[in-house]
Amino acid sequence: MPQLAIDKDFLQRYAKLDKRVQKAVDEALAKFATNYYAGGHLEKIADARDPRVRTLRVTRGYRGVVLAPERGDTYLLVTVLPHDDAYAYIRTKRFSVNQALGVLEVRDEAGLETMSDVLASVAETTETRLFDHVPDKHLLQLGIDDQVLSIVRLLTDEAHLDALEALLPPAQHNALVALASGMTVEEAWEQLSRDLVEEAAPEHVDPDDLTAAIRRSPDRAVFVEGPESLRDLLDAPFDLWRVFLHPQQRRIAHRDYSGPAMVTGGAGTGKTVTALHRVAHLAARYDSGRPILLTTFTKTLDAALRTQLELLVKDPAQRERVDVRNLDRVAYQVVAEDRGSAPTPCRDADLEQLWDEAGADSGFPGAFLLGEWDQVILAQNLRTERDYLEARRRGRGGRLGPEQRRRVWRAVLAATARMAEADLWTFTQIAAEAADILDRTGQRRYSHVVVDEAQDLHPAKWRLVRALAAEGPDDLFLAGDPHQRIYDHRVSLSALGINVRGRSRRLTVSYRSTQEILSWAVRVLGAAPVTGLDDLADSLDTYTSPLHGRRPVVRGFADRAAELDALVAQVEEWLSQGVEADSVGVAARTRSLAGEVTERLRDADIDSGSLTHGPGVRVGTMHGMKGLEFRCVAVVGVDADLVPYAEQVADRAEDPVAHGHDLQRERNLLFVSCTRARDALYVSHSGEPSPFLP
């Protein structure tokens, strides 16, 4: 039975066609899809570079380009172009299968021939060559083929290698860049093999087996299962993440795990996308009668996940199996059902007075006591005064002696008793209670739990996660980035009974920000080592982006008024360039500065709303930026006295550990804000710049 596959380039170009041409493409494809065994609709052109490439007539002015097999029965829709461009494409491009990776690749062969002549004449005047130190056998090992090899031997300079980027198959170009940067062949292979869809390289690569090559290239081509799935693809051509997974993402999402698994990776590497595909995979694979939970940190993020999941999972029965709900809501429901009535959740800030009063005898202010309860007692699940007397309080301010601890403990008992009387609860407390209920009753509500933005969960919420599904294969799947930790929770998963050792995988390619933005933003993080949820060191060393654009702009001003005037000018410039207002995000360290920004934009007649709602430019705090994405981002007020925000940083003399943690968290916060930007990043300050700015 013939198989139809679609290339990413086809879908990207289709997305940009006007409706009339799109309709003609739909019709041509429908005809082709029902008749392509006969190959009757395909036209062969005499001077095609690659004899397997054909055209498919769409309209008078448009042609599809189709790679048709010499043997086998897979047809790949490569692209759709205006008539003359389609013919030019066919006259210049040749397809091949990478001999080391087995992936499908395309090169501009005509361009390479021209380039080769130029390089040969340059090389005549020079003795040494760029790759003199690399023997042929190493190049072949890395998938460089004969045609490319002959060009490689002419290269004298790295600039020539850059010039080849648009002509060479990307995997071969990447291999050469790795070697040119001084990597050994083993190191270069290590890097290339991240693009393998299987753990190991294929043993034998058949250069004519298109079907196998497409299977190994999920980031560039997918098989279409039938007319419905073709329709579905064409209906949402902009949502490439649904279809074209990076091999790393695919491997991670579709694997079988013997227990809890985790995906980490820098901002924008597609952890959320991988988590969504993981859920889709689980929903297709398991029908245990118990639902799968997809959960995250906040309500706004879970609304976004729900929308994305609807785009991804089309089968209503499979969708039914998935419950998308943030952890606070899950906990709330467990507690409400157990008690037979709903608890009243309360923000910590609203409880301070109650804690001030209840703890008045202790000599400690309510805010401190609340923090101690949340960060030490609930975090470590301490149940008795004795447990608390012995507990570690690293990062919680100065040392407390036994007498002080007894006073704190009594104050906590008094305050929690008053909360119980008034039926007031914090979300952490609800999570802790829910975990206790599930453990006590042995209920396991979900068959599998997938957690996004996992780096910031409180330990009580981790206990809840663990208690939601029975231990076993594929039970938990966690996605997070320890470099984006912006709250106080430093968790060791193994201490909470969640062991991901050996089942933790990393994503390294950014799909969001350009390399220029990433390189700049990574420097904001500073050099302190970072420990992941699995207790291992986590680094962003191999984190890169294939996207390129302008460097971030950093501007300093004498005062806030001038800074905000310049912000208005910057936003107006973006809007005049055609950027939609809701694709512009503006972040500030404090609510009050975000409020000033909103007012200043309104004064300038620029519509603005919150980060997640309303029409217009999106404005909010750095914390609110977590998990979001914008084409253009402005981060304002990055001043020495605002970032880091002194109020949120412990005194160094009193507690050097807490001080260090707090500063790192402030760095992470700036990093998170800056890495929301896809195309453009603008950062400004008034007076002294923040010491975190590179």
Ligand X SMILES: Nc1ncnc2c1ncn2[C@@H]1O[C@H](COP(=O)(O)OP(=O)(O)OP(=O)(O)O)[C@@H](O)[C@H]1O
Tell me which residues touch ligand X (CB under 6 A). Answer: 240-241, 244-246, 249, 265, 267-273, 481, 484, 511-512, 627, 629, 675
Is 271 labeled as ligand-binding?
yes
Would you give the DSSP letter of residue 187? H
Is 266 labeled as ligand-binding?
yes
User: What whole-number distance in Å separates Cα of residue 368 and Cα of residue 135?
Assistant: 65
Give the shortest CB-540-to-ligand X separation in angstroms: 12
Q: Which lies closer to ligand X via its Cβ, residue 583 or residue 608?
A: 583
Q: Which lies closer to ligand X via its Cβ, residue 130 or residue 674?
A: 674
E strand or H helix at 570: helix 560-576
Give the shortest CB-624-to-ligand X separation in angstroms: 13
Is 265 labeled as ligand-binding?
yes
Give the shortest CB-31-to-ligand X separation in angstroms: 29
Q: How far apart are the first and last CA of the chain?
A: 58
Q: Which lies closer to ligand X via its Cβ, residue 10 or residue 244?
A: 244
Closest-CA residue to 517 (of 609, 418, 622, 631): 631
| CB-based contact 621:590 (threshold 8 Å) | yes
Is 594 labeled as ligand-binding?
no
Give the shortest CB-298-to-ligand X separation in angstroms: 12
Q: C-alpha angle with apex 538: 533 to 541, nearest 5 degrees? A: 155
Give the shortest CB-271-to-ligand X separation in angstroms: 4
Is 296 labeled as ligand-binding?
no
Q: Which lies closer to ligand X via its Cβ, residue 130 or residue 267?
A: 267
E strand or H helix at 351: helix 348-358
Pull the structure tokens for residue 598. 């909103």
Query: Which residues pair with residue 685 across a beta bridge?
Result: 556
Is 270 labeled as ligand-binding?
yes
| CB-based contact 496:462 (threshold 8 Å) | yes
Q: Which lies closer to ligand X via its Cβ, residue 366 or residue 482?
A: 482
Would you give the DSSP letter of residue 512? S
Give the shortest CB-431-to-ligand X separation in angstroms: 22
**Helices vs. strands in the chain: H and E counts, helices first:** 26, 24
Q: Which lies closer to ligand X via its Cβ, residue 419 or residue 672?
A: 672
Give the shortest CB-623-to-ligand X separation in angstroms: 14
E strand or H helix at 53: strand 53-57
Q: Please report, as a single letter, which amino acid is at residue 490.
A: R
User: What whole-number distance in Å separates Cα of residue 368 and Cα of residue 407?
Assistant: 13
User: What whole-number distance in Å separates Cα of residue 548 and Cα of residue 568?
Assistant: 26
Is 595 labeled as ligand-binding?
no
Tokens 């007692």 belong to: 377
Give the shortest CB-517-to-ligand X separation in angstroms: 12
| CB-based contact 234:10 (threshold 8 Å) | no
Give the shortest CB-516-to-ligand X separation in angstroms: 17
The CA–CA distances, whole Å, from 150 to 17, 119, 153, 154, 557 equal: 39, 11, 5, 7, 54
Pull the structure tokens for residue 628. 């979001």
Pull the structure tokens for residue 620. 């909010």
Q: Please report, as a single letter, which amino acid is at residue 522.
A: V
| CB-based contact 264:270 (threshold 8 Å) | no
Give the shortest CB-8-to-ligand X separation in angstroms: 8
What is the distance, to the nearest Å, from the Cα of residue 584 to the centroid of all Cα atoms in its chain? 19
Q: Which lies closer to ligand X via its Cβ, residue 12 or residue 380?
A: 12
Is 359 labeled as ligand-binding?
no
Tokens 């340059």 belong to: 122
Tokens 């654009």 belong to: 549
Give the shortest CB-114-to-ligand X separation in angstroms: 32
What is the distance, to the nearest Å, from the Cα of residue 616 to the centroid of all Cα atoms in its chain? 25
User: What whole-number distance in Å separates Cα of residue 694 and Cα of residue 132?
Assistant: 37
Closest-CA residue to 145 (of 182, 176, 188, 119): 176
Q: C-alpha angle with apex 509: 298 to 111, nearest 5 degrees? A: 145
Q: Which lies closer to ligand X via its Cβ, residue 405 or residue 506?
A: 506
The annotated binding site is made up of 265-272
Annotated binding-site members for ATP: 265-272
